[in-house]
Each structure stands twice: as structure tokens, then as C-alpha cells.
Amino acid sequence: MPTARQELLRLLAKKSFRLGEFKLSSGGTSDYYVDCRTTTLDARGSKLTGKVFLEEIRKRRWRAQAIGGLTMGADPIVVAVALTSGKINGFLVRKAEKQHGTGKRIEGFSEKGARVVIVDDVCTTGASTVQAIEAAREFGFEIVGVMCLVEREEANGRPSVEQAAAPAKFVSIFTASDVRSKHVPKKAKRTSQVFAVSASCEMCGKPAVTNVPRNRCAAHAM
């Protein structure tokens, strides 16, 4: 039986990985794209995401009180971990302060000095993760770890996040190479035989059942 991690990787490869030509947040282009939300918002994918992230948090012994990240890539991960753990709270970081009401940028859990883990779905340049780190620290959280679901391993993403997160560690659950290696392109459909409806067998004159490669009846089709 596959582990939760193995099953999540296969689901990402099936639901989230696409080949083609795509423009990235870095401004460059790529021959593939990973849309993690098609997995993290999937019923089964959400359960697996919560379990895998929670396992990693416990493995690292971060003793986190809350988990959060920049909306909206982090949103499904935050909810999945909170529900799976039953004790780790969730918070979301707005991209800018709200211009009405309380004007908060941090939504949800808001205990200053709390130990928190910052999460994101995909790390390319790392900009969204860095924004979340900076906002969380400005609010007063203690960041004990930073995690992303898929790291693209390009555009200086890891060094940028590691520098912003220090002394906290940055951990990626999977790399884009991991996901790509599990992706199996859809096979082209095989060309089926074209059956003759009214033709006659060229060998005996009986009704033909196929015209591939020639008009043949059932007895002479082989």
C-alpha cells in the first residue's frame, strides 16, 4: 500500500502537472506548469496534503502553534493541516492590508509570539513565501519553519526563501523533478479498424466485415 507521501506525489503528477508553454511569475517561460490547487482542493488531495505536511512538521519537531501563508496558494494547505491536526491553528496573510474594517493583514490565528510555520504551494522565485515571512514577523510571530509543496528549483527561489527565513529552515515536500518523473502523458488513441458496411469480400463475395487492409469477410479477415 502506498504511503500518503507517495499517493500525494502521484496525484500531483496526474492532476497538477501540465506540459506546454507557460509564462512564469519570474517573467520567464517553461515547458511545464504545476498548478497545485487542483490537488490541494481535491477531496482526496486535501486529506493527503494535510497528512503529509503534518508528518513533516512533527518530524522536524517544530512544535508549531499555527500554520499560515500568503493567500491564495497557501489557503488549502493551511485548512488541510488545521483539520488534520485538530490542534494547529491557521492564519492567512493578505497581499496588502485591508482598506476597511480592522485593516488587518493577518487573518485568523493572531497570538503574538506564537511559534508558526509558513507554507506555500509552489516556490519559483520565492516572492510570495518571502512576503508571508516578512508579514508574519512584522506581526510578531516566531517563525520556526517554512515549507512548500513543490519547489521548482529555479529563478533563485530557494536561496531567496532561505535568506528570508533564517534561522528557520526551508523544506520542500517535492521538487518539480519529482512530480515530472511521475507524470505519464496521455497516450494517443489507437486507430481502430474501419468496418465496411455494404462491401463484399474480395476473396469469396460474402459480406465484408472490414476494409483494413482490404475488403474481407470474417473467414478471410486474417
Per-residue pLDDT tens digits of the chain, which is 222 residues long: 899 999 999 999 999 999 888 877 667 788 899 999 999 999 999 999 999 999 999 999 999 999 999 999 999 999 999 999 999 999 999 987 765 556 689 999 999 999 999 999 999 999 999 999 999 999 999 999 999 999 998 878 999 999 999 999 999 999 999 999 998 765 444 444 444 445 676 666 777 666 655 666 655 554
116 neighbors 67 (Cβ within 8 angstroms): yes
Give the pLDDT confidence score for residue 191 in this predicted structure: 41
Scored b (16 or more CB within 10 A) or e, 120-142 reads bbbbbbbbbbbbbbebbbebebe
* CB contact at 8 A, 68 and 136: yes
Beta carbons within 10 angstroms of residue 12's beta carbon: 28
Helix, strand or coil for residue 176?
helix
**Backbone region of residue 103 per phi and psi (left: phi > 0; alpha: psi in -120 to 50; beta: other values):** left
